[in-house]
Every structure is written in C-alpha cells, then in structure tokens.
Amino acid sequence: MPDFSLIVATKDRTEELARLFATLKEQSYRDFEVVLVDQNLDDRLAPIVETWQSHFEIQHLRSEPGLSRARNKGLTVARGELIAFPDDDCWYPSDTLHKVKIWFASHPEYDFLSGCARTEELRPTSNRWMPASCEIKPRNVLRTGISFTLFFRAHALRAVHGFDESLGLGAGTRFGSGEESDCVFRLLAAGSRGWFAQELTIYHPDKTQDFSESARSRARSYGIGLGHLLRKHKLPLTYSLYTCARPAGGWLLALARRSPGAALYWATLKGRLEGYWGR
C-alpha cells in the first residue's frame, strides 16, 4: 500500500495535467500512487498515461461527468493511507508530499490538513486565506481550504462517505461549488480535527482576472453552491450576511472604478443570495 493516493479528476485538459505529473515526478517523497479519473469521451489522456506510468503508479479510471462523482469513484480504489485531490491544473513544489507525510506522523490527533493556494510568484490566488496557521473550525472553513489544498486520512474521509455528489462542477444541479467545504463541515461534525498550514504552498493559476461571460456564469454557479452550503449547515445568519457583504463591497468599488470586474462581483453576490434563499 502506498502512503499517498493522489486522486486527479480531469476533463478536457492535457497540457496542465502533464505539468502536474512533471512535478509529481520531482517529489522527494516517492511512496504514492495517482488515481486518474478520466471524464473525457475520447482517449486524449492515453499518451500522457503512457509517458508517465514508468515514473509512478497510475490507476486510470473512467467516470461519468461530475467532479464529486469522479472523486468518489477514485476513492473506492485508492489504497493510500493519506488522500489528496490535486486539480488537473494545479502543481506541487518538490517537497510537498515529504512535508505532509512528516506533519501527519507528528500530529496523530488530526485527520486532515490544508495548505495555501499560490501562484508561481507565491501570491495567494484568492483573498480567502487566513493570515496565519490555525485550527480549522466551522467559523473559518471557507477561509482555510479548497479541494486541491486538502490532505485527509483515508479512514476519516471514508467515514463521512467522501463528497456530496449533488455539489460541485458537473453535478447536474445548480450548485457549482461547495463540495470540499461540505466535506470538511461533516468531518468536523463527526469529531475530526483539521489544521490550516499557511506555509504549505500548492501552486494554482490565478483566475480572478477572467471577466468573460463564462467566468460570470461560473461565478454565479459557485455562488449558488456556497449559499446552499451556508443554509445546509445552518451557519449563523450574521456569518452568511458577511459572505454576501464581501462581493457586495467589491461590486460597489468596481462600479466606482468602472472596472469590468463589477459584473463578476454581481454574479457572485446574486448567486449566493439565490443559493441561500432559493428553493
């Protein structure tokens, strides 16, 4: 059994996936497998698998569309004691798995760990992150983790049955996000403990400067998912209102500056309200 199972759910991307695999080849800690969950309708990943399977073990599965659905399918075959879900467009520093392995060995009381998403220039890729390392609690779940920065003990993740397949990209519902936060909320409710390590970097592109129509549609879908999540887990109304105040403030500021980002903030705000109050 490998120490790590890295479950990569992927669709459409090839160059980005090859970049991730290149950084996995350079990991100083080598006891891992990749569970590649392929949602493509063609065989575009076959050359990538053929290229990299001599460098590390790859289980190549097929899955119906849906990010949470694909990750859960990968979880059914994953053999590692530690589970991660790197995005197909993220990538790891060479010492990532070594650091994570040491951390879990030193902290048996914790069931999951989260790092911080940053660009290659080490700039955080969103403003969600806490300024310092801390215990993960319900009040800071939304600021301490995103799926590709999280590492779990396999037994704890399986105990809460992985991800809610009605949430996340491709789920076939209105809820385009929130699957990882929902999972963390359920872990905490089950008695698991988690830690946010601000110094643990996972690289990811910054997509906050995309103001296209597709980006606005995605922002609204993500907002609906978050609004639904806040209601599902019965978070305090004041906290829910705070999550709406941030995009509202960004929208007003962008309007004042005549920034194209105003439409993106508005889509996010509208989605969060719709997800929280909608039926």
Using CA of residue 265, residue 266, residue 271, residue 273, what is the dihedral sign? positive
Provide the CB-side half-sphere exposure for 153 (13 A, CA): 17
Asked if pLDDT for residue 264 goes beyond 60, the answer is yes
Q: Is the residue at 106 inside a domain?
A: yes
Does residue 41 sit within a domain? yes
Cβ neighbors of 213 (< 8 A, separation 6 or more) are none
29 and 166 inside one domain: yes
pLDDT band at 127, cuts 50/70/90? low
> What CATH number is attached to the domain comprising 100?
3.90.550.10
Q: Per the domain annotation, does 126 fall within a domain? A: yes
Please count the structural domains in the chain: 2
Closest alpha carbon to 230 in 184, 182, 158: 182
Q: CA-CA distance, 24 to 34, in Å (whole number)?
A: 9
**Within-domain flag for 143:** yes
- Residue 95 falls within a domain, yes or no? yes
Pair (194, 109) in one structural domain: yes
- Last residue of a domain, which of 203, 232, 264? 203
Residues 108 and 240 in one domain: no
pLDDT-derived band at 166 (thresholds 50, 70, 90) equals very high
Question: Which residue range(s) make up the domain with 221?
Answer: 213-277
- What confidence category does residue 209 fall into, taking pLDDT thresholds of 50, 70 and 90? low
Cβ–Cβ < 8 Å for 233, 216: no
Does residue 145 fall inside a structural domain?
Answer: yes
Contact 154, 78 (CB under 8 A): yes
Residue 279 has pLDDT above 60, yes or no: no
Compute the average pLDDT of residues 180-184: 97
**Phi, psi (deg, nearest 5) at residue 194:** -135, 155
Dihedrals phi, psi of 248, to nearest 5 degrees: -65, -45
In whole angstroms, how far apart are CA 133 and each of 96, 149, 199, 239, 245? Answer: 17, 14, 8, 21, 25
Shared-domain flag, residues 72 and 153:
yes
**Three-state SS string across 13-38, please?**
CCHHHHHHHHHHHCCCCCCEEEEEEE
Question: What's the confidence (pLDDT) of residue 183?
Answer: 97
Q: Per-residue pLDDT tens for 100-119?
A: 999 999 999 999 999 999 99
Identify the pLDDT of residue 141.
94
* Cα dist from 207 to 118, 125, 126, 210, 235, whole Å: 11, 8, 9, 6, 28
Per residue in 56-99, pLDDT tens? 999 999 999 999 999 999 999 999 999 999 999 999 999 999 99
Residues 24, 140, single domain; the answer is: yes
Express each pLDDT in 6-40 by its tens digit: 999 999 999 999 999 999 999 999 999 999 999 99
In which region does residue 205 sit, left (phi positive, over 0), alpha (psi from -120 to 50) or beta (all else)? Answer: beta
Has residue 208 been placed in a domain? no
Domain boundary, last residue among 169, 203, 237: 203
**Same domain, residue pair 119 and 254:** no
| E-assigned strand segments in 90-237 | 112-118, 134-136, 150-153, 194-203
CA distances from 59 to 35, 44, 242 (A): 5, 16, 42
Domain membership flag for residue 239: yes
Verify that 59 and 101 share a domain, yes or no: yes
What is the distance of C-alpha 234 from the center of its chain? 22
Kindly tell me if the per-residue pLDDT of 158 is higher than 80.
yes
Nearest to 271 by CA among 182, 183, 176: 176
pLDDT band at 5, cuts 50/70/90? very high
Same domain, 143 and 229: no
pLDDT of residue 124: 85
Shared domain for 177 and 117, answered yes or no, is: yes
Residue-wise pLDDT for 86-96, tens only, equals 999 999 999 99
CA 39 to chain centre: 17
Residues 187 and 247 both lie in one domain: no
Q: Is residue 235 very low, low, confident or very high in pLDDT (cuts 50, 70, 90)?
A: confident
- Per-residue pLDDT, averaged over 260-277, amounts to 90
Same domain, yes or no: 117 and 41: yes
Query: Do residues 59 and 111 share a domain?
Result: yes
Residue that is last in its domain, among 203, 235, 268:
203
Confidence tier at 212 by pLDDT (50, 70, 90): confident
CA distance 269 to 277: 12
